[in-house]
Amino acid sequence: MVYSDKQKRVLREADARWNILHGAVRSGKSFISSDLLVKRVHQQPRGNCLMVGKTEGTLTRNVIHPLQDRWGSTYISDISGSSGSRELRIFGRKFYVIGANDERSVKKLQGMGLVYAYGDEITTWPQSFFEMLKSRLDKKGAKFDGSCNPEGPFHWLKTDVLENEEMNRKDWHFTLDDGKDFLDPDFISELKKEYVGVWYKRYIDGLWVMAEGVIYDMWRDETNVIDELDFKEKDPVKYYCSLDYGTNNPFVAGLFGVKGNQARLIKEYYYDSNKQGRQKTDAEYSKDLANFLDGYNVRNIYIDPSATSFKAQLRADGFSNVRNANNAVLDGIKTVSKKISDGSYKVLSSCQNTIKEKSTYVWDNRAQQRGEDKPLKENDHCCDMERYFLHTQFGRMKVGAAKAF
């Protein structure tokens, strides 16, 4: 195997009760932490072992499949078992498996005594889960190995663990350049171009920095706003629509054109009932949407899954192409940020409300003090609308077609 100097250090020095690898994407954290996992399988005393991730799906993608690619399914099994007791075997040793995506996951730890635990995407776990895990690693010589990308400087993992000098802990900070021994130099160069602002500091430099100010600070009117559709390829444009449904709040719709990885917001519909002094009914919005899309062969209409009444109205009015959007906020913001910064998403100058919101869509400072990255819920309706489309269509979490409601 080709190891970087940082990875070699981890293999030599990871002998604390808590061993945490944090920093940039694609820097070799997960790879070397999985080698630690195999090492612990053969070295830890007898006892229960645990593997934790945000979900079983992320564990399978980030950890289990890469291990199977290297060692084969004979030694690394798939996850199996009932919903109450999920497990897999690694070189014959049984690991319990838990997805720690919400507070309910804490109960899955209760009553469990552990000699070893492995953690993926630690910053996505509830703090209560991590606190309970501390008490479960109760066997002599128990250890934890885990990895994550950084979040804000007030995240509980940074303040309560990485800065806790009393814990029996070791941690290693990775930057993208730590992967230079095994990554293509062109890939490193291109990735550095694709991230800007807070995402560059976190995902390239591996720093725990605050998301503050304007969210899409990489937006430039002179490059991201165009006066007319600029597709030049011969292939036909594929059209999509995205909606941010509102009654007391503005109702927003956008028509998007797509060619390959290029996306354009062609036109917008914006109705603010507070400014207009009258709320529209679902039936009126449905009729407005039909007029808005008239003349375009729209493949899918993406809408927030929570807009149940309007989805029922659309179904009654004969719309058969409505799909639930992927409404993950932070992952969606990352997708939009990348599309803006690499120039693959642009907005026609006639979409004035969407353009205007780019300067008013900001991070919530109070949430930052709690260690949370959240947008301020003001002046965000067009940004939500475009995020639903761009993340559902281009986001990392996309699996096949979006689900119908």
Between CA 32 and CA 226 the distance in angstroms is 45
Amino acid symbol at 119: G
Three-point CA angle 355, 360, 361, nearest 5°: 90
Token digits of residue 345: 């998403």
Between CA 55 and CA 98 the distance in angstroms is 7
CATH number of 221-360+377-394: 3.30.420.280
pLDDT of residue 1: 67
pLDDT of residue 84: 77
Domain ranges of the chain: 5-203, 221-360+377-394
Q: Are strands 87-90 and 93-99 parallel, antiparallel or unpaired?
A: antiparallel
Measured on CA atoms in the order 301, 307, 311, 313, is the torsion positive or negative? negative
Between CA 6 and CA 185 the distance in angstroms is 18
Q: Which of 366, 361, 354, 398 is nearest to 379 (CA)?
A: 361
Average pLDDT along the chain? 93
pLDDT band at 402 (very low <50, low <70, confident <90, very high): very low
pLDDT of residue 405: 38
pLDDT of residue 379: 85
CATH number 3.40.1390.10 given to 5-203: no
Q: Do domains 5-203 and 221-360+377-394 have the same CATH topology?
A: no
Tens of pLDDT, residue by residue over 299-348, are: 999 999 999 999 999 999 999 999 999 999 999 999 999 999 889 999 99
Q: What is the mean pLDDT of residues 256-279?
A: 95
Question: For residue 397, is pLDDT > 50?
Answer: no
Q: What is the mean pLDDT of residues 84-105?
A: 94
- DSSP H or E run through 95: strand 93-99
Tens of pLDDT, residue by residue over 234-245, are: 778 999 999 999
Neighbour order of strands in the sheet with 251-259: 225-226, 345-348, 262-271, 251-259, 238-244, 298-303, 322-324
Tens of pLDDT, residue by residue over 1-22, are: 689 999 999 999 999 999 999 9
pLDDT band at 247 (very low <50, low <70, confident <90, very high): confident
Residue 204, φ and ψ in degrees, nearest 5: -105, -50
Between CA 132 and CA 93 the distance in angstroms is 23
Question: For residue 111, is pLDDT > 80?
Answer: yes
Please give the share of the chain, as a percent, with pLDDT higher than 90: 84
* Cβ 298 vs Cβ 321: under 8 Å: yes
Question: For residue 372, is pLDDT > 80?
Answer: yes
pLDDT band at 398 (very low <50, low <70, confident <90, very high): very low
Tens of pLDDT, residue by residue over 145-167, are: 999 999 999 999 999 999 999 99
Burial of 333-344, coded b for 16+ CB within 10 Å and e otherwise, reads: bbbbbbbbbeeb
Burial of 376-399, coded b for 16+ CB within 10 Å and e otherwise, reads: eeebbbbbbbbbbbbbbbbbeeee
pLDDT band at 396 (very low <50, low <70, confident <90, very high): low
What is the 8-class DSSP label of residue 156? H
CB atoms within 10 A of CB 137: 21
Q: What is the mean pLDDT of residues 275-304?
A: 96
SS3 of residue 225 by DSSP: strand
Q: What is the mean pLDDT of residues 359-366?
A: 91
Question: For residue 404, is pLDDT > 80?
Answer: no
Question: For residue 401, is pLDDT > 60?
Answer: no
Tens of pLDDT, residue by residue over 178-187, are: 999 999 999 9
Helix axes 308-316, 282-292, angle to 10 degrees: 60
Give the max Cα distance, the chain: 70
Q: What is the mean pLDDT of residues 70-83?
A: 94
Beta bridge partner(s), residue 23 = 174
Q: What is the mean pLDDT of residues 159-176?
A: 97
